[in-house]
């Protein structure tokens, strides 16, 4: 009986510490050098976007010097039912999954499981002997295949220079081949990350590895790499090595049935119909995409960002060394070759602000972050020790940055000390 009681008390202690870990300390804005009055401009901006029919609702979060100064729900989570947004609502974060995938890769790098210069085919042999599709007008199919000059490296994947087709698009032969192959895969029903990556590997490359930036499915190949190297599914690895240690209790590829009511509806803008609800994402997909189908909350993602801002550690749990975070935010490509990321250079899974003012954003050189296809957005400003997170579910059509940049600037202007 004594042993049973001791085990029960130990379990209570674990549960208590887990609950405590999931909560970041809070403070009044003035206690961390921000203005409460100026932060009201965030609310006013989001309200104006709603009135103009550009947004149904959002959750916003701001933390400075390790303390949360604002976690607010705005507007509606669902227009049709008029359900009000809640601070703990769950969002499809799409490409904000990518920085999480990079952290998983860096965890394995720190364990000496590979080098970033290693060829991907060392772990994923389906990427051996890749061919590049080169347009040739007089060829039977309009293109010819030439051998890749070298194998794809892990670093190529991390910097979107693996040669895979992506954005910017130009309807090249490789783009067409990749699109057709992936459409056929989707038409056959549910598929796994492994099947997705194998399909990519049998289509030709769009360019020679290491030569051209194309924002595409590289992060999904990284997810499969993590699976093969770790011997765990990507969902298991992320839960065990990232989400559980950080207390990210609502972040996963699969939303449990008891949380379905907290999932926010996604919308697109229509010139004649206003906001139109989009087809909902599957809440239990077989394809677990590190490129874009994690679900999360503003509070959970805030903890992930605070870990990065702290140099890889949160609440005594270290995921990465400070040097790995520095590598993540280093200048891997001089400037971002996407118009909506002007004034920023390419890090690993993030865009990093340069010293120029070309970004048009308030903030500091070295600030970094990324966004998702539903206008979800985060930025970490190490100089200001500031994190800002914007969680709507409003389709992002680049280069339209009104929602993300408007939110960003209304937070930054609230810094007074």
CB 407 within 8 A of CB 377: yes
Domains and CATH numbers, the chain: 26-99+233-412 (3.40.710.10), 104-230 (3.40.710.10)
Work out the average pLDDT over 219-238: 98
Work out the average pLDDT over 198-208: 97
Q: Give the helix ranges, DSSP H, for 202-319.
A: 218-230, 234-238, 244-246, 298-309
Cross-strand partners of 276: 268
Cross-strand partners of 263: 90
Is the pLDDT reported for residue 14 higher than 50? no
Q: Which residues of 191-227 are buried (b: 16+ CB within 10 A; e: fewer)?
A: bebbebbbbbbebbbbbbbbeebbbbbbbbbbbbbbb
Residues classed as catalytic: 95
Give, in order, the Cα–Cα distances in Å from 233 to each of 95, 109, 227, 287, 320.
Answer: 19, 17, 5, 11, 20
Give, in order, the Cα–Cα distances in Å from 52 to each of 96, 109, 123.
Answer: 26, 47, 50
As a whole number of angstroms, the distance between CA 383 and CA 367 comes to 8
Cross-strand partners of 252: 295
Is the pLDDT reported for residue 151 higher than 70? yes
The reported pLDDT for the residue numbered 110 is 98
- Please provide the DSSP assignment of 27-77 as one string: --GGGGTB-HHHHHHHHHHHHHHHHTTS-SEEEEEEEETTEEEEEEEEEEE
- Structure confidence at residue 107 as a pLDDT band (50, 70, 90): very high
Please give the structure tokens belonging to residue 180. 């057709």
User: What is the tens place of the pLDDT at every residue in 155-182?
Assistant: 999 999 999 999 988 889 999 999 999 9
- Structure confidence at residue 18 as a pLDDT band (50, 70, 90): very low
The size of the chain, in residues, is 417
Is the pLDDT reported for residue 219 higher than 60? yes
User: What is the tens place of the pLDDT at every residue in 61-96?
Assistant: 999 999 999 999 999 999 999 999 999 999 999 999
- Structure confidence at residue 10 as a pLDDT band (50, 70, 90): very low
- Please provide the DSSP assignment of 266-292 as one string: PEEEETTTEEEEPPPPPSS-SS--TTT
Cβ within 8 Å of residue 151, ≥6 positions away: 119, 120, 121, 127, 128, 130, 209
Cα distance between the two ends of the chain: 57
Q: Are strands 317-318 and 67-78 parallel, antiparallel or unpaired?
A: unpaired
User: What is the tens place of the pLDDT at every residue in 382-393?
Assistant: 999 999 999 999
Please give the structure tokens belonging to residue 22. 């999931």
pLDDT mean across residues, the chain: 93
Closest CA to 263 of 4, 86, 405: 86
- Structure confidence at residue 12 as a pLDDT band (50, 70, 90): very low
């Amino acid at each position: 009986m004594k042993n049973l009681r001791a085990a029960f008390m130990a379990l209570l202690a674990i549960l208590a510490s887990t609950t405590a870990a999931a909560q970041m300390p809070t403070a009044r804005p003035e206690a961390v050098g921000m203005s409460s009055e100026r932060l009201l401009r965030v609310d006013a901006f989001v309200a104006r976007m709603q009135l103009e029919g550009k947004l149904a609702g959002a959750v916003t979060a701001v933390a400075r010097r390790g303390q949360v100064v604002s976690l607010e729900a705005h507007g509606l989570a669902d227009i049709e039912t008029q359900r009000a947004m809640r601070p703990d609502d769950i969002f499809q974060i799409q490409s904000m999954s990518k920085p999480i995938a990079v952290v998983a890769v860096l965890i394995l790098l720190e364990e000496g499981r590979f080098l970033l210069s290693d060829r991907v085919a060392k772990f994923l042999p389906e990427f051996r002997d890749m061919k590049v599709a080169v347009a040739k007008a007089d060829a039977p199919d309009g293109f010819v295949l030439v051998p890749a000059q070298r194998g794809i490296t892990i670093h190529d994947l991390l910097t979107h220079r693996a040669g895979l087709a992506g954005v910017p698009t130009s309807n090249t032969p490789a783009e067409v081949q990749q699109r057709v192959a992936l459409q056929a895969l989707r038409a056959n029903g549910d598929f796994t990350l492994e099947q997705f990556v194998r399909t990519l590997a049998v289509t030709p490359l769009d360019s020679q590895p290491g030569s051209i930036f194309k924002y595409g499915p590289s992060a999904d190949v990284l997810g499969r790499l993590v699976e093969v190297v770790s011997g765990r599914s990507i969902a298991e690895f992320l839960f065990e090595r990232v989400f559980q240690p950080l207390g990210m209790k609502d972040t996963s590829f699969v939303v449990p049935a008891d949380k379905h009511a907290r999932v926010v509806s996604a919308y697109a803008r229509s010139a004649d119909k206003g906001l139109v609800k989009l087809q909902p994402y599957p809440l239990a997909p077989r394809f677990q995409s590190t490129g874009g189908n994690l679900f999360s909350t503003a509070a959970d993602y805030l903890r992930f960002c605070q870990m990065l801002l702290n140099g890889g550690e949160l609440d005594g749990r270290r995921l990465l060394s400070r040097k790995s975070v520095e590598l993540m935010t280093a200048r891997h490509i001089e400037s971002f070759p996407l118009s909506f990321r002007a004034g920023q250079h390419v890090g690993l899974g993030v865009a990093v602000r340069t010293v120029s003012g070309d970004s048009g954003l308030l903030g500091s050189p070295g600030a970094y972050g990324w966004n998702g296809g539903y206008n979800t957005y985060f930025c970490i400003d190490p100089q200001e020790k500031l994190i800002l997170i914007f969680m709507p579910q409003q389709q992002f059509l680049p280069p339209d940055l009104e929602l993300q940049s408007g939110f960003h600037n209304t937070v930054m202007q609230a810094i007074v000390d």
